[in-house]
Structure 1
Amino acid sequence: MSRQEEDRTKGQKKPTQPKPSIPIPLEEGTIRKGLVGKLPPQPKPELRPVGQKPSAKKKANP
């Protein structure tokens, strides 16, 4: 029972790994391409003003 289950799980893991790995990168690539055009202005202002400006202002005020 346990040996057969291990063999079945191994046989399923091998085919399931390449299958999801192929659709996952394709989805990520399409999502990234679609977000790259919409998120370029957002990640930059969020990382700079939201991360450094507020902390610098808080430290500079007191």
Structure 2
Amino acid sequence: MNVINFPDRHDFENLSLAERMLIIESWIEEMDDNLPRIREAAAAIDKLIEANKKYLT
């Protein structure tokens, strides 16, 4: 998994537009890669919650 480290606001504002766009595009690609895993994890958590509800009732 890649980690996109955004520079702080001051450093980001001092970057060129092209450098800013590269950082933002990398972040978008990272989010696109992570979104399916996040959805799968959320679905697994939901199943565990439902199973726990049935077990407790």
TM-score scaled by structure 2? 0.57
Moved over 4 A (4+): none
- For structure 1, the 5+ residue unaligned runs are 41-62
Q: Count residues with an aligned counterpart.
A: 39
Report the aligned-residue RMSD.
1.3
Work out the CA distance in 1 between the residues paired with 2:46 and 2:36. Answer: 15
Quote the residue 2:25 is aligned against. Answer: 7
The structure showing larger relative contact order (alpha-carbon pairs under 8 Å, at least 6 residues apart) is: 2
Work out the CA distance in 1 between the residues paired with 2:54 and 2:26. Answer: 41
Query: Which range is displaced more, 15-24 or 27-36?
Result: 27-36
TM-score scaled by structure 1? 0.53
Paired-residue identity, %: 5
- For structure 2, the 5+ residue unaligned runs are 1-18
Work out the CA distance in 2 between the residues paired with 1:36 and 1:20. Answer: 24
- Computing the radius of gyration from Cα coordinates, the structure with the larger value is 1
